[in-house]
């Protein structure tokens, strides 16, 4: 199959995955090597669409660097993220600007300074996008990283600097790189 036709099929499947009522948390699609053009990357698309993406991404990253929580929440909500009440997003958080609609942060969540949330990635031969769900009363420590498709459970804690690529159960603590779950917690 022609790579362009195959890419368009992949984009159609990705759009179905991104629908709000889709229960799947992870999307995966075979691609050639990531160094080759892919329809999943805005830089491979039409010039004006690519420029709009870069403008939106720059806007989001500038706002997330500022110490104004309400402005960060407003920007994320306006880009499709679902953000609950009493959420605090510290200055310096980095949230993947390509698929902000795949992010859900429930009520009473704290994201520490320098947290990185990735909603997509390119592997050797796959494109992956995933919903990140951070449940109520979770705390995500500074400079930790959360990968696509991860759910941080209610009242769970992620230690500073932890790298999370698997779910963290409710009430548990995740530490380290790669993260491991401590047997304690509630």
Q: Give a yes or no: residue 161 inside a domain.
A: yes
pLDDT in tens, 122-161: 999 999 999 999 999 999 999 999 999 999 999 999 999 9
Q: Give a yes or no: residue 154 inside a domain.
A: yes
pLDDT in tens, 160-170: 999 999 999 99
Q: How far apart are CA 89 and CA 87, in angstroms?
A: 7
Q: Give a yes or no: residue 20 inside a domain.
A: no
User: Which residues are bridge partners to 173 per DSSP?
Assistant: 157
Quote the domain boundaries for residue 165: 39-181
- Looking at residue 1, its pLDDT comes to 42
Q: Give a yes or no: residue 1 inside a domain.
A: no
- Looking at residue 85, its pLDDT comes to 98
Least confident of 42-51, 100-109, 128-137: 42-51
Q: Does pLDDT of 96 surpass 50?
A: yes
Q: How far apart are CA 39 and CA 69, in angstroms?
A: 34
Q: How far apart are CA 129 and CA 38, in angstroms?
A: 14
Q: Give a yes or no: residue 22 inside a domain.
A: no
Q: Give a yes or no: residue 12 inside a domain.
A: no
Q: Give a yes or no: residue 14 inside a domain.
A: no
List Cβ neighbours of 87 (8 Å cut-off, separation of 6 or more): 69, 73, 105, 107, 108, 109, 110, 111
183 backbone φψ class: left, alpha, beta (φ>0; ψ -120 to 50): alpha
The alpha carbon dihedral of 178, 148, 30, 42 has a sign of negative
Least confident of 41-45, 100-104, 148-152: 41-45
Q: Once rounded to an integer, what is the mean pLDDT over residues 62-82? A: 96
Residue 166, classed as helix, strand or coil, is: coil
- Looking at residue 33, its pLDDT comes to 82
Q: Give a yes or no: residue 21 inside a domain.
A: no
Of the two residues 124 and 2, the one the predictor is more confident about is: 124
- Indicate the average pLDDT of the chain: 92
What is the domain count for the chain? 1
CATH of the domain at 47: 2.160.10.10
């Amino acid at each position: 199959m022609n790579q362009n036709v195959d890419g368009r099929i992949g984009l159609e499947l990705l759009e179905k995955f991104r629908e709000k009522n889709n229960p799947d948390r992870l999307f995966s699609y075979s691609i050639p090597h990531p160094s080759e053009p892919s329809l999943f990357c805005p830089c491979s698309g039409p010039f004006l669409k690519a420029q709009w993406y870069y403008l939106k991404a720059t806007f989001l990253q500038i706002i997330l660097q500022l110490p104004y929580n309400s402005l960060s929440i407003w920007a994320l909500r306006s880009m499709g993220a679902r953000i609950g009440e009493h959420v605090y997003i510290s200055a310096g958080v980095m949230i993947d600007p390509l698929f902000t609609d795949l992010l859900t942060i429930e009520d009473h969540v704290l994201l520490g300074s320098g947290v990185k949330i990735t909603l997509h990635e390119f592997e050797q031969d796959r494109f992956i996008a995933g919903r990140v769900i951070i449940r109520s009363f979770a705390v995500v420590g500074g400079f930790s990283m959360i990968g696509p498709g991860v759910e941080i459970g209610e009242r769970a804690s992620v230690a500073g600097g932890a790298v999370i690529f698997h779910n963290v159960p409710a009430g548990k603590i995740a530490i380290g790189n790669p993260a491991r779950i401590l047997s304690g917690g509630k």
